[in-house]
Structure 1
Amino acid sequence: MFDYQLLRALEAVIANRGFERAAQKLFITQSAVSRRIRQLEQQIGEPVLVRSQPPVATPAGSRLLTHLQQVIQLEAALGMQSGDEDAEKNILAVRMAVNADSLATWLPRALTLPEQKFSFDFLVEDQSVSLKRMKQGEVMVCICSSDETVNGGKSVYLGALRYRAVASPGFLSAHGITETADLFRAPCLVFDHNDRTQHDFMREYADDEPEYIHWCPSSEGFRQAMLAGMGYGMLPDLQIEDAINTGELVDLFPGKYMDIHLYWHYWQSESPQLKALREHVVTSAQSYLQ
């Protein structure tokens, strides 16, 4: 039988990207965290961490993290969460992998459920890769663009976040852009190295991909950079409707758009609190997503 203090030490190291911050989170010393990880490895007879910077779970470590997430769900369902300050206050801690644009637009309203208390810990990644956090057992919930379910998990469709290619009038003037072909010598804004939205859209509607790129891993920063004329790129309708109406941004391909389909992933051992949250989010998403 596992000592769950050891599993929570592993979770803390992965979630906090290192032993020092894990120790702060658990209110123990860094050496105590290291000792718990060694004890866990001795119990199962193999490493649970690759001691890189930041540490990464081994396949065995990922299976243990998945197991821990499912146990946390069962404890919550049975009202058995103990030894945790938030649990004593009837607050369910929820670690969630989510894409930045959802977090910057529709999701905060959808997560507001007055009759339930949650403490959210958001892990922000591009929707194309965030499912790996679920596969590795690092999160309770994941919002991503894949409907592929992980072992022990389920998914439900939320809707589509609609994106359009836009730029500021100042940007178009400064770069002498009068037709689609002119875009390929101008800078394009891209969220991060996993983000292929701009590339896929331009390949479909302009037969080429952007090469001159600014990397901007911030949803609001992305919008501000676009308004400032740093580059063109793809933004969701929910972020640009006002700017389009006021003329601050120009739709570069009127009538053309790209829909990113989003799914809510959760564990089969879902607690009543997370079931209520999921149902509320699914209902709320209908008001914002396509």
Structure 2
Amino acid sequence: MIDYKLLEALATVIECNGFERAGEALGLSQSAVSQRLKTLEVRLGQPVLIRHPHLEPTPAGRRLLNHYQQVQLLERDLRSALPTLETASPRLRIAINADSLATWWADAVGRFCRDEGLLLDLVIEDQDVGLRRLRDGEVAACLCASDQPIAGARCVPLGTMVYHPYATPAYIARYFPQGPSEAAFRHAPAIVYGPHDQLQHRFLAQCGYHGAFPYHLCPSSEGFVRLAAAGIGYGMMPHRQVADLVKAGQLASLDPQRRLEVPLYWHFWRHSGALLERLTGMLGEVQLT
């Protein structure tokens, strides 16, 4: 049987990023928190926390944290049946792509989080690889481009995000005076979100180009747009995010006839409680574009 006070100590150490702050949050001494972690590791027979060079859970620790989070969500459901039961505000750990966070996510979940007293722990991950976080037990839900459900989880389609290749008019005039071409793609600097981002590659393949191309790496959705607006590259961006810049003439599509449609799916663990079910129902009504 699991002693949930030990799991609470693990979760608080990770959340507070330290034993001293975790002790203050739990009303315990730093040594008492450390002792709880040692007891958990002894009972489990393996470490749950990597202490150096920085604090992070081991694979076993991640699974315990995910289990603890699901237990908190289920306890949250008991409030309606047992009003005198005291439970802490649940914290939901979700893997989400940066573009959704920068566009529609906050408006979609803001009121829900306020009404439900829900705390979010968002892990920014590319839409093509976020499902791995759920599979490894690191998160309770994820937003990604895969429609393949994993064992023990549900998959719900949410809609499609539409991307266009945007750049400044001056940039387009310099690098694409005759429109998209193999020669232009070979020399025009692009902007790529990160090593797992394949949107640029998919766009080039759509245009018939499969060769190498120069690119900037920018792991920030807002920074991505700012770099494009500064005229140093072109990149795939959702129209919703840059509509004002396009309207003002600061950005334009270098190929108005082409776009990429990226379907998004909401994956979450089954049997995580009514709160997650209600969040899923609410997300199913959101317009992504």
TM range (shorter): 0.7 to 0.9
How does 1:126-165 map onto structure 2 within 5 Å?
A: 126-165=126-165
Q: Distance in 2 between matches of 1:121 and 1:154?
A: 20
Letter in 2 for 1:155: C
Aligned residue number for residue 254 of structure 2: 252
Displacement of 1:161 after TM fit?
A: 0.9
TM-score scaled to structure 2, two decimals?
0.84
1:76 is aligned to: 76
CA distance in 2, matches of 1:217, 1:70: 30
8 Å CA contact 2:63–2:138 kept in 1: the answer is: no
Q: Does 1:66 align with 2:96?
A: no
Instruction: Provide closer, same or farther for how the CA distance between residues 157 and 27 of structure 1 changes in structure 2, counting only shifts above 3 A.
Output: farther
Check whether the contact 2:73–2:90 (CA below 8 A) recurs between aligned residues: no
Q: State the shift of 1:134 in Å.
A: 2.1
In 2, distance between residues paired with 1:38 and 1:190?
43
Q: Deviations over 1:151-205 (max 9, x none)?
A: 4321211111111111111222444653323132121111122211112221232
Aligned to 2:108: 110
Matching residue of 1:263: 265
Looking at structure 2, the residues matched to 177 and 37 of structure 1 have their Cα atoms a distance apart, in angstroms, of 63
Other-structure match for 2:202: 200
1:250 deviates by 1.8
AA in 2 matched with 1:211: F
Which TM-score applies when normalising by structure 1?
0.84
Change (3 A) 1:152 1:8: farther
Q: Which residue of 2 aligns with 1:121?
A: 121
Structure 1 equivalent of residue 232 of structure 2: 230
| Equivalent in 88, 100, 104 of residue 98 of structure 2 | 100
Call closer, same or farther: CA 1:99–1:32 in 2, change over 3 Å: farther
Unaligned 5+ residue runs, structure 2? none
Coordinate RMSD, CA, aligned:
2.8
Query: Partners of 2:19 and 2:127 in 1: how far apart?
Result: 28
In structure 2, do the counterparts of structure 1 residues 160 and 3 end up closer, same or farther at CA, with 3 Å as the change threshold?
Answer: same
Q: CA deviation at 1:237?
A: 1.8
Question: How many percent identity over aligned positions?
Answer: 39
Indicate how the Cα distance of structure 1 residues 265 and 93 shifts in structure 2: closer, same or farther if over 3 A, else same.
same
- Deviation track 1:32-75 (CA, whole Å, cap 9, x = no partner) reads 44432221111021233445544554443343233223212221
- SS of residue matched to 1:166: strand
Deviates more, 1:162-171 or 1:137-146: 137-146
Aligned mates of 1:75, 1:57 — CA distance in 2 = 23
Report the alpha carbon displacement of residue 25 of structure 1 after superposing the two structures with TM.
Answer: 5.8
